[in-house]
Structure formats: C-alpha cells, structure tokens
Amino acid sequence: MLTLITGGSKCGKSHIAEQLLENVHCEKIYIATMIPYGKEAHAAIERHRLLRAGKNFTTIEKYTNINELDIPEQSAVLIECMANLCANEMFDSGFDADVSGRIVNAVKKINKACSRLVVVTNDVSRDGIEYPEETQLYIKNLCHINRQLALIADNVIECVYGIPVMLKGEL
C-alpha cells in the first residue's frame, strides 16, 4: 500500500508519515534523502532524528539511486523526501535534466517489495514565481514525480497546518 503525503514546507508532513507507521509490527525502514549541507540541513536532520527516536525505524541515508536499495519483503518504508531526492539526482553529480522517470520507477520497485510505503514530498509549484531555467526544470521534474506517484498511490494526503486532508483513498 502506497501513501503519498504532500504539503508546504514545515507543515507537519513528517509527523503524519511517522504516525501512519507507528503501530506497524514489522521491520520499519526510514530512507533519509537530505544531504547534510550546512547548519540548517544539520538542524533539520537532527529534528527528524528526534521525532522518530524510539519508533523502531532503521535509518538508511541514501541521497541518490534509491533503486539500489535491497528492501526486505513485508517491511514498512518511509521515504523522506522526494524534493530532496529529486534535487540530489539532478544536481549532486553534475546536471541531469531527466530524473523523474528513474525516481518513479525506483519508488515502484520499493513499493513492490514492501507491505507499506509512505512517501513524503513537497508542493513547490504554488508560489507563481519565475525562477532560473534549472530551478524551473527541478520544479517540473518534482511535479511530474508527484503526479505519477499520486496516480499509483492508494492514499494521497495533503498536510495543511498539521492537519491531514485526504485527497485520495482512506486510512
């Protein structure tokens, strides 16, 4: 079962994602995609570690190529988050403009292996600002990833001010 959680920055997506897997009694894997660049990233990573402390997650830090992961069958997986993964895939080792298909296929592979998959993403396209060409391409890629994942997801939740709003499915 695939659940996609979207919303703006710091709106409570991670908390909701972790709650969805809180009472799951199987191996729980947290795929962390944020590269620890700078003070703000380190603070965000530490905040997320504290949030999931004691929740029995095994954390795998995998910044690119999540398709390489060997996910145990019948495990529960949380991927945090598509926005970071997309940026890492596009910009970390040069510039790769065509990452959306590769990322969606990797998520499908993980979803096939595990019993429950929760994917956190960001809504980055609502501000209406014109950005430089590479940033616009990033937004386009992330929006394509989000649309494709929403199509195959059993549940889609938008987090609004910490409140989960069901857009698809039911919990």
Ordered structural domains, the chain, with CATH: 2-168 (3.40.50.300)
Is the Cα torsion angle 130, 64, 19, 4 positive or negative in sign?
A: positive
Of the candidates 116, 121, 169, which has an alpha carbon nearest to the alpha carbon of residue 1? 116
Q: Is the pLDDT of residue 53 over 80?
A: no
Measured distance CA(116)–CA(81) in Å, rounded: 16
* Mean pLDDT of all residues in 110-139: 92
Tell me what pLDDT residue 98 has: 82
* Mean pLDDT of all residues in 62-86: 96
When comparing pLDDT for 22 and 171, which is higher?
A: 22
pTM tops 0.85, yes or no = yes
* Mean pLDDT of all residues in 17-32: 95
Q: Is the pLDDT of residue 101 over 80?
A: yes
Burial 19-40 (b: 16+ CB within 10 A, else e): ebbeeeeebbbbbbbbeeeeee
Distances, alpha carbon 127 to alpha carbons 25, 72, 85, 130, in Å: 40, 39, 21, 9
Tell me what pLDDT residue 23 has: 92
Distances, alpha carbon 46 to alpha carbons 14, 41, 133, 137, 139, in Å: 13, 9, 32, 30, 26
Q: Is the pLDDT of residue 41 over 80?
A: no
The mean-pLDDT minimum among 15-24, 63-72, 121-130 falls in 121-130
